[in-house]
Amino acid sequence: MSDRTAPGEMFLQPKITGYRQLSKDETALINEGKLLAEMVGQFVEKLRLHPQTPTGAVPVVPAFSELCSIDQRWVSIGATQLQQGFMAVIRGIAQPTTF
């Protein structure tokens, strides 16, 4: 099939239980969301390179050559919630018919 299908036109994909046939536009939106999620994931990984702030400590402004300390607990909470958010918006586009 040609990549030049009209906007909104359906294209055939292998059947996935619980999912309906997606249009080109819906597929493009999902792919865009997946790309954004990958970019956010790279940012989270960058944050994970920083040292952990000791529990109860106030982060100190580091010298220019040092990595600043970051509360990795909050980074993990944020990562989980961002993953949930991306899964939710992708599900909103795909509209699966199963739990």
Q: Please tell me the total count of domains within the chain.
A: 1
Note the pLDDT tens digit of each residue in 19-30: 889 999 999 999
pLDDT, position 64:
46
What domain range is 71 assigned to?
A: 40-53+66-94
Is pLDDT at 6 greater than 60 in this prediction? Answer: yes
Residue percentage of the chain with pLDDT more than 70: 76
4 vs 80: which has the higher pLDDT: 80
Give the CA distances from residue 13 to residues 3, 16, 21, 32, 72, in Å, rounded to whole numbers and listed in that order: 14, 9, 7, 18, 41
In this structure, is residue 30 part of a structural domain?
Answer: no
The answer as to whether 88 is a domain residue is yes
For residue 46, tell me if it sits in a domain.
Answer: yes
Determine the pLDDT at residue 29. Answer: 97
Residue 11 belongs to a domain: no
